[in-house]
Amino acid sequence: MHAAARTIGGVAVGSVGLGAMPLSVEGRPDEDQAMATIHAALDAGVRLIDTADSYHWHAGEVGHNERLIARALAAYGRGSEEVLVATKGGRGRPGDGSWTVNGDPRHLRRAAEASAARLGVEAIGLYQLHKPDPAVPFADSVGALRDLADAGTIRMAGLSNVDREQIGIAQEILGPYLVSVQNRFSPAHQSTRDTLDLCTELGLAFLPWSPLGGISLSAVDDPGTGAPTPDSPFHALARARGVSPQQVCLAWHLARSPVVVPIPGARRPASIRDSAAAAGLTLSAEEVAGLCL
């Protein structure tokens, strides 16, 4: 089962994206290493970079990750125009490690305009509602994305951390503007499998965040709990194939559905080079079956 090139809303993005959050949150590398990591991703063929205005560490740093990506793309030069930058709005970080949610349509419209300015684009390629706000009717938040698309501030819209019912509501409001769903999904977190199945049925791109859960810790995991096991079927197959467990895990994602585009995080160039190589790892049907937990 070879991973064919993937698309989001008709835009070619390759098979594996880059989750850029670790480059700006707690434990982030210095800017030189962060820039080198983004450039290594582009050199490896990555054409999807996932970010959000809330990907920062300290208070007063809103948009840190977006600004970093804009600088990296500008420095990379030729070929950077082929990259789809997917950003998100609707969450905040006060600077104490916590996360907030704000799905007010007025906030989302302002946030998208600010994100476009930080990214240096007239229209954001893919803009995603970061998380439904329980204090705001979901349809109202999604309606703000429709307004942004109609106004030309964003080209495509997506959802994150949503269920099947919310996907259906958003599809009615957004129509063809809705192109993607970004939910947590990994060997260790498969409770959103029903949303992956729905995206496959509808032809929406499914972007699993923290896709290596159970294989590697991510930027959202507590390093003191839930340490990955070194003796899973993924590790056994990796040893047999002479590749990393992370590559096997990403190839497993790609084999599940043609709409899947995993977005593993990375803090080092070597990490994203290894992840991107999963696009060339062919798993047999028997191997895939052996990894189904």
142 class by beta-carbon count within 10 Å (0-12 exposed, 13-18 middle, 19+ buried): buried
Q: What is the pLDDT of residues 251-266, one digit of tens each?
A: 999 999 999 999 999 9
pLDDT at residue number 80: 87
Residue-wise burial string across 109-124, b where 16 or more C-beta atoms lie within 10 A, e elsewhere: bebbbebbebbebebb
Q: What is the pLDDT of residues 23-56, one digit of tens each?
A: 999 999 999 999 999 999 999 999 999 999 999 9
CA 157 to CA 170: how far, in whole Å?
10
Identified catalytic residue from 55, 76, 127, 177: 55
- pLDDT band with cut points at 50, 70 and 90 for residue 134: very high
Alpha helices for the chain (secondary structure H): 31-43, 64-76, 105-119, 138-151, 164-174, 193-202, 233-241, 245-256, 269-276, 285-291
Mean pLDDT in the chain?
A: 93
Is residue 127 among the annotated active site residues?
no
CA 129 to CA 136: how far, in whole Å?
13
CA 236 to CA 287: how far, in whole Å?
11
- Interval 139-144 mean pLDDT: 98
- For residue 57, what is the DSSP state? S
Q: Which of 2-6, 82-86, 229-233 has the highest mean pLDDT?
A: 82-86
Which pTM value belongs to this model? 0.94
pLDDT at residue number 1: 38
- Interval 189-201 mean pLDDT: 97
Q: What is the pLDDT of residues 203-229, one digit of tens each?
A: 999 999 999 988 876 666 655 555 667
